[in-house]
Structure 1
C-alpha cells in the first residue's frame, strides 16, 4: 500500500540532502509520496523534484548525477525553519557561542513551530515522518499520532552536548587557541530537550559511521565529551562496547523501539566513469591541458576553503612527521624525511594535479588565485565522478565524502574537526574499511601536503587499482532502507 511520507531534512551541510534524495528516490520509484521539509535550498534535491520546480539557471548547477528512468511521481518541497544546525566559520571549525545562541533561539519558538507542523501533517494526510536528522520532526510526528523513523549515523544532541568539552590547546606557535567550552549547566537543558524529541522516534535506521544515539543508547554517559579519550583520538573502551553490542540489546529495545543497521547511502558514479575517455573529457572540461591529462589527481573537497600558497622560506621539518607506517609496510621506501634532512613539504608531489570542488562562479576570489596545477570544478560537475577518477581525496570527515571515498576505494586524507563528535564515528569507519590518513590543520593551512599525499596514495593504491579493474560496486542502501521502512509501517498498522 503506497504511503505518504514527510521527510524532515537538516539544512546543515550537503550530506543530509544527498542522503534524503537517495532514500526518497527509492520511495518514489516504489509509488510512495514524499514531501521534503527542510531549511536547505531546493538545489540539492533536484533529482527528486519535478523538472519545472527549479529555474533553468538553478537546474544547471543542481549536480543531478547519472540519468535514470523517469520517476512515476516526484517529491514535493516545503521550506520551513525546522532545524538549528551548527554555526561554522570554516569547514572544520565550530563557533560554540553562536551555535548555542541559534539553538536557544530555535527552542524558544519550538511550541509555535510544532503547532504549525502538526497542523500541516494532519492536513497533508501524512502517514509517517522520516528524519535525517532533525529532532523537531520526531516530536511533531508523536504529537500528530504518527510513527517517526530516524535515518542517520548521528543526532545533533550529541553535537550540542560536545560544545561543553574543552578542545586540546595547540602547541604550534602563532596558532590561535581554541574557544573556551560552553558552561554545561547552561547547555544541558537545551540538550535534554533535543534528546527528548529524538526519543519520539520508534525506529532508528543506523548508518555506518555511527556514534551513540542518546535517545536510543539511553545508558551512554553524558555529556558527550565523556565518550572520547584524553588524546581526542578515539572513543573510550566503554563507548566502543556500546557501539559494538547487538542492536536487540540496546536499552530502547525494552521500550518497544528498534534499531536496524543499514548499508552506506552512496551516490554512484556515472556508468562510464571508469573509461579513459570519460576521465579525459571530465578533466578537459575543467581546463586541464592535454599534457597534464595523465597526471595523478588529488580531489580537494572542502567547499570554498582557501588553498594555501607556500612562499619561499628557510627549510623546516613537517610539523607532524610521517611516522605512521614503517618501511616494511610500504611498497616503496618510507616517506618520512631523513632525520638529518630539514625539508618543507610542498602542495603536490611531482606528477600530480588537483581539482578543487565547492567554488562558486568566475568571480570567486579562491578560483582566481589557485596555485599552478590546481583547477576548479564547475558547480554542475557530479562529485562522485571526480571521486572515482581521483587517485586521492583531501577534505574533512563528512558523511558524504567518507561514503563516496569508501565506495570508490579512493585514499582519503582528512583534516580533523576537533569540535565535531560525529567525526569519531566516521574516523572509526574509515580506519575499518578504507585507506585514510590525518593531516594536521597546521600542515593543511601551511600547504605541507606533499608527503601526506604520497603516503596516502601508497596506502590505498592496491585497493584503488582493484576497484578500477572490477568497477563500482553498489551496496543498494536505498532499496534496503525502503524495505525496512515498509516492513516497519506494515507492523505499525497492525
Structure 2
C-alpha cells in the first residue's frame, strides 16, 4: 500500500482520459466531478461515460475538454424506495444490463476507446470497463471506497448461489486494472492487485453560509436541517409537526408531494455542498458523498440504516469515529419523532481533521499513470489484500459486517495464489489501537477474523 499526499504536478503531455461512472445514485458522479475538474485544469481531455444528468458535471466544469457520453454499464443496487434494496432484483438487473450483452459491450467499448485515442481508462467502479481497457490494450485504474463484487456478495447469500458467477466475473474484470485508488471508509476489495490510499474526495464550496441563507431567505437564528435520501422515491409523507419550533427543513431528492410550510423543496440542480455548509444538520441515508462532505464541512448527520448495502457500516463507523453521526430508527423517521435526534445532532462537535484534497491527489496519480509511471510495483494479490483488510480492518470497520466464507476465499475463486503457508497457531488474542483492530499472531501467520473485539480470544477452527 502507498499513500500519496502531494498535489497535481505539471505534465508535458496532453492526455486523454476515458472515465466510466457507476450508474448507482449521484454519489459516484459527484466525486468523479472533483477528480475530472483537476484533470481538465491540468490541460487534459476527459470523456465521462455516465448515466447522471449533465448538470452534475457542467455546474462545476465549463470546458470544451469535458465530453459527456450517456451510457450505463452497471446498475448498482435496485431500490424499491429510498431505504429498501431488493437483492434479487439487483442481481437480475445486472444480468440484464451487463452479463447478457457482455460481448457486445466489450466490442463497442474497445472500438470507442480506440476512436478517442484514450491514454488511460478510469472507472468508479464499473468493472466491465477494466476488461474493455485490457482488450483495447489500454491501462486502467479504479477509484472508490467499495467494489461491486463485495456489495453483491451479500445479495448472492440472499438470492442463491446460482448467482455466484456474477461475483467471479466482476472480480475478474477488476483484476485487469493496474491499481485501485482507495478512498477513506473503504470495504474489503480482494480483486485489486495494488492499492493507493488518498484523502477524502469532496467538492469545493462556491458560496458562504451567509450567502446561501440570504438567497433562501433564512435568517441566522433559524435551525436548518437537510433531508436527503437520494434520487429514489421516498414513499412517505412529511408533516409540519415533525420539526421542533424554530426549525426549517430543506428537502432534496424525490419528494414530489405538497410540503408543509416549514419544509422547503430544493431544485434538482441545487449545489448540495453549499447548502450543507449553511445548515445545522442533515437527515438521510449513508453514502460516500453524504459522509465525505458532511465530515469536510463539519455537518452532523442523523442517519437511517439500509439493509443489503455492505458499504454502509464502514462509512457509518467513520462518521461516528469523528463524532459526526446520530442513528435514527426507521420507526421514528416514519412516525415523525425527529426532535430528540435533531437536538442530539446539534450538540455534536464533528472533529474530522484529515485531508479533503483527494480529488487533486487522485488526479495527479491518474496523470502520472497515463504518462507511463508505474504505481503498481509493490503488488498485493487480491486474496492477500482481503486477508489484510479483514484481519487489520479498515480504520473504521463495523463489527456487524458479514463476509461470506466463499468470498473470503477469493484466491480460489480468482485463481490468485498467495503462497501463504498453512496456519498452525491455535489461538490469538485481539488487541485494540484506538478504533483500529489488529491481531497479535503467535507464529506470524495471518488469520481471518470477523466481528472480533478487543479482549476476545479466537480459537482456530
Name the TM-score class by shorter chain.
Answer: 0.7 to 0.9
CA contact (8 A) 2:208 2:278 kept: yes
* CA drift at 1:152: 0.5
Distance in 1, Cα, partners of 2:144 & 2:101: 25
Label 1:463 to 1:195 Cα distance change in 2 as closer, same or farther (>3 A).
Answer: closer
Matched, 1:491 2:373: yes
1:10–1:40 CA contact under 8 A, matched in 2 = no
TM-score of the aligned structures, taking structure 2 as reference length? 0.73
RMSD: 2.4
8 Å Cα contact 1:48-1:75 kept in structure 2: no
The structure 2 residue matched to 1:206, chosen from 163, 182, 189, is: 182
Kept in 1, the 8 Å contact 2:239–2:260? The answer is: no
- Which structure has more strand as a fraction of its residues? 2
Which string of whole-angstrom CA distances, capped at 9 and with x for unpartnered residues, describes residues 5-30 of structure 1?
Answer: 10011121001111111111100110
**Counterpart contact for 1:49–1:76, Cα < 8 Å:** no
Q: Tell me the distance in 1 between the aligned counterparts of 2:357 and 2:61.
A: 21
1:456 equivalenced with 2:345 (yes/no): yes
Deviation at 1:48, TM superposition (A): 6.1
Report the Cα distance in structure 2 between the residues aligned to 1:39 and 1:269, rounded to whole angstroms: 24
User: Is the counterpart of residue 281 in structure 1 residue 214 in structure 2?
Assistant: yes
Conservation of the 8 A alpha-carbon contact between 1:411 and 1:459 = yes
Q: CA deviation at 1:309?
A: 4.7
Q: Which runs of 5+ in 1 are unaligned?
A: 51-70, 166-180, 217-251, 253-257, 312-345, 468-472
Q: Partners in 2 of 1:463 and 1:212 — Cα distance?
A: 25
Query: Are the aligned partners of 2:78 and 2:86 in contact in 1 as well (CA < 8 Å)?
Result: yes
Structure 2 unaligned regions, length at least 5: 1-12, 378-461
Deviation by residue 1:219-245 (Cα, 9 ceiling, x = unmatched): xxxxxxxxxxxxxxxxxxxxxxxxxxx
Residue 192 of structure 1: aligned partner: 168
The residue aligned with 1:231 is none
Deviations 1:273-296 (A, max 9, x none): 13x3x1432332xxx5xxx66211
130, 151, 157: which is aligned to 2:143?
151
Are residues 1:182 and 2:159 paired?
yes
**C-alpha contact 2:200 2:355 (8 A) present in aligned 1:** no
Are the counterparts in 2 of residues 398 and 423 from structure 1 also a CA contact under 8 Å?
Answer: yes
Assess if the C-alpha contact under 8 Å between 1:211 and 1:424 holds in 2: no
User: Which residue among 287, 297, 301 is the counterpart of 1:408?
Assistant: 297
Q: Is the 8 A contact 2:185 2:314 kept in 1?
A: yes
Contact map agreement 2:17 2:47 (CA 8 A) in 1: yes
Is residue 55–residue 269 contact of structure 2 (8 Å, CA) maintained in 1?
Answer: no
Task: Describe how 1:25-424 pairs up with structure 2 within 5 A.
Answer: 25-47=37-59, 71=63, 73-105=64-96, 106-165=98-157, 181-183=158-160, 185-216=161-192, 252=193, 258-270=194-206, 272-274=207-209, 276=210, 278-284=211-217, 294-303=221-230, 304-306=233-235, 308-309=237-238, 347-359=242-254, 364=256, 366=257, 368=258, 370-424=259-313
Distance 1:448 1:108 in 2: 46
Q: Distance in 2 between matches of 1:433 and 1:83?
A: 32
Aligned to 1:64: none
Task: Give the C-alpha shift of residue 81 in structure 1.
Answer: 3.4
CA distance in 2, matches of 1:463, 1:130: 32
TM-score normalised by structure 1 residue count: 0.68
Cα distance between partner residues in 2 of 1:395 and 1:377? 15
1:308 and 1:447 in contact (8 A); partners too: no
Q: Is the 8 A contact 1:349 1:454 kept in 2?
A: no
Report deviation, 1:434.
Answer: 4.0
- Alpha-carbon spacing, 1:310–1:146, altered in 2? closer, same or farther (3 Å): same
Query: Are the structure 2 counterparts of residues 45 and 131 from structure 1 closer, same or farther at C-alpha, using a change threshold of 3 Å?
Result: same
**Which deviations, in whole Å up to 9, do the C-alpha atoms of 1:360-394 show, x marking residues without a partner?**
7xxx3x2x1x2342111222321111111111110
- Per the alignment, do residues 100 and 380 of structure 1 end up closer, same or farther by CA in structure 2, a change over 3 Å counting? closer
Q: For the residues of structure 2 that align with 1:455 and 1:160, how far apart are their CA atoms?
A: 34
2:163 alignment partner, SS class = helix
- Residue 488 (structure 1) shift: 2.8
- Partner SS, residue 491 of structure 1: coil
Which deviates further from its counterpart, 432-441 or 127-136? 432-441
Residue-by-residue CA offset, 1:257-316 (whole Å, 9 max, x unaligned): x2111111111222x413x3x1432332xxx5xxx66211111112352554569xxxxx
CA-CA distance at 1:143 after TM superposition = 1.2
Alpha-carbon distance between aligned partners in 2 of 1:373 and 1:41, rounded to the nearest angstrom? 29
